[in-house]
Structure 1
Amino acid sequence: MGTATTPLRRDNIPQLQIVRALCIIAVLCVHSTSFATLNMKESGYFFAYNFVNIFMKYGTPSFIFLSSFVLFYNYYERPMTKELVGGFYRKRLKYILVPYFMFSVMYYIISYILNNRDLGVIETLQHFGIQLLTGKAWTHLYFVFINSQFYLFFPIALLLLKSSRTLLKWSVPIGLAIQWGFVFMNKFYWQVKYPGSWMFSYMSYFMLGAFLGSFFPQIKEWIIASRENATVPRVIFWVVLWAAWLTAALSHVNIYYQSRLYGTSYNTTLYEFLWNAHTYLGTVVLLQIAFFVYRHCSPVLVKWISQLGALSFGIYLIHPFFNLIYRNFPPTTGNSMLIHLWYVGGFFFALIPSWIVVSLVIRYVPFSWMIFGNSPARKPKAQTG
C-alpha cells in the first residue's frame, strides 16, 4: 500500500466547528417540533412549526457531508499505508463505535422498561443485538449506523479516488448517480424496508464531501463568499447557488405543509428530490455561512458556537434522553401561548442540559471518550482525521 513517509497535513479549518454547530441546532429543531407537526394542525402557527421541522432537515445529511469532507481533506494528500488505514479504524472504533455501543445499551434499557417487555435473557440479548447492528436501539442512532457504513467504505473510496484524478473530478455526478440509482431501484424493484438506514441513500453527500475536501485548497475562493474572492463568475455562482437552495428548501417546506394540513398527495419521488436538492445545496451554503460568521461575528459568539460544534457528537447522542423527560410534562392549560412556549422550551431543554452534561463529563470524568467520543480537551484540532 506504499512505503511509510511523514504524513502530509493541511491547515486546520476552525470554521467547520461552526458548521457542526449549525447542524446540531438543526437536529434539535427537527426533534423538538416533531410532535407539534402532529398536534398543532388547528393552530394558526402550524405553518411555523412545519417550516422549522422541514427547513431544518439539513442536519443529518450535512453531518454526513462534513464527515466525508474532513476525512478527504485530511487523508487525500497523505500516502496510503497500512499504518494510516489501521490508525483510521482504531480512531473510529474508539471514538465512534464505543460511545455508540454505550448509548445503544442505555437507550435499549430505557425502551425495554417503557415498553414493558418481558423477554428471557437470551431473547433480550438477541433482540438487542439486532437493534445494535441496525442502529435502531433509539430513533436517532441510525445516523451513527450510516456513518459506520461510510467508515468501512472510506479506505476503498480513498484508494480509488487517489488512483485516478479523473475519477475524483467526476465524484459529484457519480455520487448523485449511485444515490438516485438506489432510490429508483428500491422504489420499483428492491423495496428495502428502511432505505434511509443505508449509506446509498446519502451517497451524493459523501461524494460531494470527497470532492470538496480533496480539492478545497484549490477551490476555496469559490466557496468562501467575500469581497476579496468576488469575481463575476464566482458572484454568479453564489447567486445561483442561494437561489436554487432557497427554491428547493421552500418547495420542500410547502409540499409537507400541503400534505400535513390538507392531505394533498404527491409522488414519493418528489419528496425525495426536494429533500435531496434542499439539503445537498445547503451543505455548500452552510460552509459559506460558517466562514461569514467566523469572520464577521464577535470572537465571544464564535467561541461559543465553536464549542457547541466541538461537542456536537456528544450532544447528538444524549439529547433524546432530555427530550424524553421533557415530553413527560406536557402543559395542562388551554392557553395557546403557554403551549407554544412549551414547544419552544423543548428545544432549549434538549440543548442546554445536553451541552452542560457533555462539557462536564469530558472535563472531569476519566475515560470520557467511552461515552462521548473525542473531545477538544484531548485534541485541540477537533476536526482532524
Structure 2
Amino acid sequence: MEKKYLYEINFVRAIACLLVVMVHVGARFYGAYDESHTTLTNFFNQISRIGTPLFAVMSGFLLYNQMAKKHFKVSHFLKSRMVKIISPFVVWSLFYLAFDYFNGIEVFPDWSNSSEVADFTYQFITGESYFHLYFISLVIQFYFLFLIIRKWMNLKTITFATILSIYVNYLFVTNNFEVNNEYVNSFINSRTFLLQWIYYFMLGALLVKLWPYIHQFLLKKSNQMFTLITGLFVLIFSVLDYHSHQQIINSNENLLHFITIPIAFIVLISLYYQLIFWKDFIMEGFIKLGNMSMGIYLIHPFVITLYQWYAPYDVFAEPIYIIPFHIMVVFICIVLLKIISFLPFSQYIVTLVKSNRKNIQYNMAESRNLIRSSN
C-alpha cells in the first residue's frame, strides 16, 4: 500500500475547481442580464472568487511539499513541468486562438508587421490567448520563483517571507506602476504578474511547514466544529461585504481575501475530516475531481460556450438556472477529459493525475482511525 497521501489537499483543489467554474458561469449570467447581477448570481459569482487564490495557495503548497518529501532534482522538476504545465498551456492557447478565429474573431497578427507580431507574442506568453490562461502563465512564474528561493526556505524564512509578501501583494494590487517599456508596464500592472499573487503562493509554502500542527489540531472533533462555525461567520461577513458594494471584484484585488483564504483552507481541511465519515464514494468523487482540476480549468471555458449555444433550453431564463448550468459544465468537462485521456500523447494535452481507489480508501480509513483515537 502506498504511503500517506494528503488527499485533504485533493479535496481543497476539487472545491477550488468548482468555485472557479462557478465564477465563469456566473460571468455569463452577468453578460446576459445587461452587465448586471441578480442577488443570487452575484452571490455565487463573488463568493466563488476564493477559488483562484486557493489554486495559488495549492501551487505553493504542492511545490514545497514535494521538496520536503522527496529528493528534489531540478532536471526532473523541469522535465515534469514541461509536460504537465507548459505543453498543455501551449496546446490550449493555440486551441482557443483557433476557436476564436473560426468564430470570426481576428486573433492572429499580420506576420509581416513586427509590431503586431510582438504584441501577439506578448499576449501568448502572458496567457492572454483566452481569458483564463493568465493563471497558467502565473503558475510558471511561481515555478521560477520556487527554484530561486527553495534552498533558503525554512520555517523562519518562510514565515518572514509570507509576512513581507502581504505588503508586497497589497502594494501591487492597490497601485499602478509606470515604467518606460510598454510591455513591462502592462505586465507588472496586470493580474498575470507574480507579485499580484505572491502572498497566496508564500502562504502555501508556510502551510506546508505548519501542516503537522494543523493536522493535529483538526483531529479533535471539537476543533473541527469550532473551525466550521468560524468559517460560517466569515462566509456571512463576505456575503454582506459583497452585497454592500454590489460590484465585481477580481480575485486578486479583494483585500479581504488576505484574511479569508487561510481561513477557507483550514475550514475545507476540517470539512474533509468530517465528510470522510460519510459514504466513501462521495469523498472518492471529490478526490478524483481534485486530480482532474487542472484539466477542468483548461477546458471549462470552451465547455461553457458550447453549453450556452446548444443546451436544449434558455440557460439564462431564470437566475436559478445558474446551478444546473454549473453542474452540466463540470459533468461535460469530466467526460471530455476521460475521452482525451485515451488519445496518444494525452499527457501533453491535459494534466490528469491517476487515482487509485484502494489507496484513497486506505488513506481515508487511516485518517478516520486517527480521528477516533484522538477523541
> In the TM superposition, what is the alpha-carbon distance from 1:182 to its structure 2 partner?
2.5
Is the Cα contact below 8 Å between 1:146 and 1:198 reproduced in 2? yes
Q: Establish whether residue 99 from structure 1 lines up as the match of residue 78 from structure 2.
A: no
- Residue 285 of structure 1 is matched in structure 2 by 267
Q: Which of 144, 147, 153 is 1:155 aligned to?
A: 147
- Residue 307 of structure 2 is matched in structure 1 by 326
- Residue 344 of structure 1 is matched in structure 2 by 323
What TM-score does the superposition give when structure 2 sets the normalisation length? 0.80
**CA distance in 2 between partners of 1:204 and 1:348 (Å):** 31
Aligned residue runs from structure 1 range 90-239, under 5 A: 90-117=79-106, 119-122=109-112, 128-162=120-154, 165-184=155-174, 186-187=175-176, 194-222=189-217, 224=218, 226-227=220-221, 230=222, 238=227
Instruction: Give the direction of change, closer, same or farther, for the CA distance of 1:169–1:368 in structure 2 (3 Å limit).
Output: same
Instruction: Give the direction of change, closer, same or farther, for the CA distance of 1:42–1:76 in structure 2 (3 Å limit).
Output: closer
Is the Cα contact below 8 Å between 1:76 and 1:158 reproduced in 2? no
The residue identity in structure 2 corresponding to 1:309 is G
> In the TM superposition, what is the alpha-carbon distance from 1:64 to its structure 2 partner?
1.0
Deviations 1:21-44 (A, max 9, x none): 11111011111111323444899x
Q: Establish whether residue 299 from structure 1 lines up as the match of residue 293 from structure 2.
A: no
> In the TM superposition, what is the alpha-carbon distance from 1:97 to its structure 2 partner?
0.5
- Residue 87 of structure 1 is matched in structure 2 by 76
Is the Cα contact below 8 Å between 1:72 and 1:213 reproduced in 2? yes
Please list every run of 5 or more consecutive structure 1 residues that lacks an aligned counterpart in the other structure.
1-8, 261-265
**CA distance in 2 between partners of 1:36 and 1:368 (Å):** 33
Deviations 1:314-367 (A, max 9, x none): 11111111111223358997x98x4346543431332111110102222x2221
Deviates more, 1:366-375 or 1:70-79: 70-79
Instruction: Give % identity.
Output: 21
> In the TM superposition, what is the alpha-carbon distance from 1:152 to its structure 2 partner?
0.7
> In the TM superposition, what is the alpha-carbon distance from 1:289 to its structure 2 partner?
2.2
- Residue 363 of structure 2 is matched in structure 1 by none
- Residue 16 of structure 1 is matched in structure 2 by 9
Q: Establish whether residue 49 from structure 1 lines up as the match of residue 41 from structure 2.
A: yes
Please, what is the CA RMSD of the aligned residues?
Answer: 3.6
Instruction: Give the direction of change, closer, same or farther, for the CA distance of 1:70–1:192 in structure 2 (3 Å limit).
Output: same
**CA distance in 1 between partners of 2:253 and 2:237 (Å):** 11
Deviates more, 1:349-358 or 1:127-136: 127-136
What TM-score does the superposition give when structure 1 sets the normalisation length? 0.78
**CA distance in 2 between partners of 1:151 and 1:380 (Å):** 32
Instruction: Give the direction of change, closer, same or farther, for the CA distance of 1:256–1:331 in structure 2 (3 Å limit).
Output: farther
The residue identity in structure 2 corresponding to 1:353 is I
Q: Which of 324, 334, 338 is 1:355 aligned to?
A: 334
The residue identity in structure 1 corresponding to 2:14 is A
Instruction: Give the direction of change, closer, same or farther, for the CA distance of 1:330–1:240 in structure 2 (3 Å limit).
Output: closer
**CA distance in 2 between partners of 1:125 and 1:349 (Å):** 38
Instruction: Give the direction of change, closer, same or farther, for the CA distance of 1:36–1:354 in structure 2 (3 Å limit).
Output: same
**CA distance in 1 between partners of 2:231 and 2:144 (Å):** 33
Q: Establish whether residue 375 from structure 1 lines up as the match of residue 350 from structure 2.
A: no
> In the TM superposition, what is the alpha-carbon distance from 1:205 to its structure 2 partner?
1.0
**CA distance in 2 between partners of 1:378 and 1:128 (Å):** 42
Instruction: Give the direction of change, closer, same or farther, for the CA distance of 1:116–1:179 in structure 2 (3 Å limit).
Output: closer
Deviations 1:188-239 (A, max 9, x none): 76785643111111111111110111331244223x2632xx47xx987x37
- Residue 34 of structure 1 is matched in structure 2 by 27
**CA distance in 2 between partners of 1:133 and 1:96 (Å):** 13
Secondary structure of the 1:23 match is helix
Aligned length: 349
Is the Cα contact below 8 Å between 2:126 and 2:137 reproduced in 1? yes
Q: Establish whether residue 246 from structure 1 lines up as the match of residue 235 from structure 2.
A: yes
- Residue 313 of structure 1 is matched in structure 2 by 294
Secondary structure of the 1:285 match is helix
> In the TM superposition, what is the alpha-carbon distance from 1:379 to its structure 2 partner?
12
Deviations 1:266-286 (A, max 9, x none): 9x9x96322443334323322
